[in-house]
Structure 1
Amino acid sequence: MAKIIGVCGSTRKNATEYALVEALKEAEKVDGIETEMISIRGKKISPCIHCDKCIKDEFLGCSIYKDDDMNELFHKCLEADGIIFASPVFEMGISPQLSAFMSRFRSCYLDLRNDPEVYGKHVGAAIAVGGTRNGGQEMTIACMHNFFHTHGYVVTGGALGVYAGAAVWSQDNTKFDDSIDPIGIENARKLGGKVARTVLQMHK
């Protein structure tokens, strides 16, 4: 059974989490796929300070912040066959919380140094949720894709019309559902299905 993890980078339980859950539901419709959602909301995640102690210690994780919530989440993500990041748009980029989360993968250099293709069969995809229709969703998706490119993941969009990832328009609605942006949510579902099928292709 292949596993896809969804990482929700929002501090609120609303549109971003909704879109990610819909993507994961669609992924689970594909035989041979199981999913899990990780929410950063309420988690203690300190940002990397680039001291490189993890590299010097050859420790896959963080040698400094050993007691925050990131160490468990870090290893879950490394063990997953696919990851879908979802972030609200902050100043046309990812949320500060998701940025801190991503920064903590510095020690992956240890794996990549030994084998540049170590994550080469892992699949990554992205969902961005903005309060306005053209509020920076594609730039936010690009930020998340850059993380995957840095680690050598296979990055996928959602096929026709969902070229990079799913861009959702929340209209800053506090009670989000399909009716607020049916096209955006349908695209999130397409993305989830595409990630699942790509994961299975990579492991044939």
Structure 2
Amino acid sequence: MTVIGISGSTRKNGNTSILVKAVLAPCEEAGIPTEFISLAGKEIRPCLGCEKCKEEDWCVIQNDDWGDIMEKVLDAEVLVIGSPTYYYDLSGHLKNFIDRSYSLYHQRKLAGRKAVAVAVCANKGGDRTIQTIEGFLNSHEFSYLGHVRGKGYMAGEVAHDAHAMKNAGKIGRKIVELLKPMD
């Protein structure tokens, strides 16, 4: 896996998915392997704060979807991670996913990868959502490639945000340049 895109929305094909996929599109067109994962319908239980992960170097919570998805993140060179904005911040579902990554922090298992933050908001709060995602990425020592913030409330509205769609394509092409340098 080279580039993985994750939508933290509970809507499988919502605005966040559209914007994350818009970042992935130039990569796919360039022949770079990509995978898109929606957290919609996935079970991601919250961190228990048990600290057992310090001993195990992996989250000890079993029988949910976190481990399989995180294995794919570990195999990726670039992570494109997005969320809708709920009350001026990211979705609780994505927050659970991020909180569980604490289990990888001790050995810096995510460090050195590249990442892009994506947020969609109806009106306000997108900046805060980006900041929260950036906090996750910075804590894990990702190399930050930038962010895309779009506006949209009803299904599909973000596709009409010309600035966001243009920026998504621009960042996608930046990923291509990094992963497929000129011969």
TM over 0.5, shorter chain? yes
Count of residue pairs brought into register by the alignment:
180
Q: Residue 190 in 1 paired to residue 181 in 2?
A: no
Distance 1:60 1:76, change over 3 A: farther
Distance 1:108 1:177 in 2: 33
What corresponds to 2:86 in structure 1?
90
Task: List aligned pairs for 1:164-179, cutoff 5 A.
Answer: 165-170=147-152, 172-176=153-157, 178=159
Once the two structures are superposed, residues 106-132 of structure 1 have per-residue CA deviations (whole angstroms, 9 ceiling, x without a partner) of 1213422xxxxx644310111110112
Aligned pairs for 1:109-120 within 5 A? 109-112=105-108, 119-120=110-111
> Which residue in 1 is equivalent to 2:58?
61
Unpaired stretches in structure 1, ≥5 consecutive residues: 113-117, 158-164
Quick one: distance in 2 between partners of 1:119 and 1:97?
Answer: 20
- What residue number does 1:125 align with? 116
Quote the offset at 1:20 in angstroms. Answer: 1.0
Structure 1 residues 168-204: Cα deviation after superposition (integer angstroms, max 9, x where no partner): 011x2234363x2122111112122223333457xxx
Preserved contact between residue 120 and residue 158 of structure 2 (Cα < 8 Å)? no
Q: Structure 1: how far apart are the matches of 2:178 and 2:142?
A: 12
Q: TM-score scaled to structure 2, two decimals?
A: 0.90
Alpha-carbon distance between aligned partners in 2 of 1:123 and 1:196, rounded to the nearest angstrom: 12
Q: Aligned equivalents of 2:179 and 2:134: distance in 1?
A: 16
Gaps of 5+ in 2: none
Amino acid at match of 2:164: G
Q: State how far apart, in whole Å, the 2-side matches of 1:199 and 1:152 are.
A: 19
Structure 1: which 4+ aligned runs deviate by more than 6 Å? none
CA RMSD of aligned residues (A): 1.8
Q: Which amino acid is the alignment partner of residue 73 of structure 1? A: I
- Counting only pairs closer than 5 Å after superposition, residues 1-204 of structure 1 correspond to structure 2 as 3-12=2-11, 13-30=13-30, 33-56=32-55, 59-63=56-60, 65-112=61-108, 119-132=110-123, 135-157=124-146, 165-170=147-152, 172-176=153-157, 178=159, 180-199=160-179
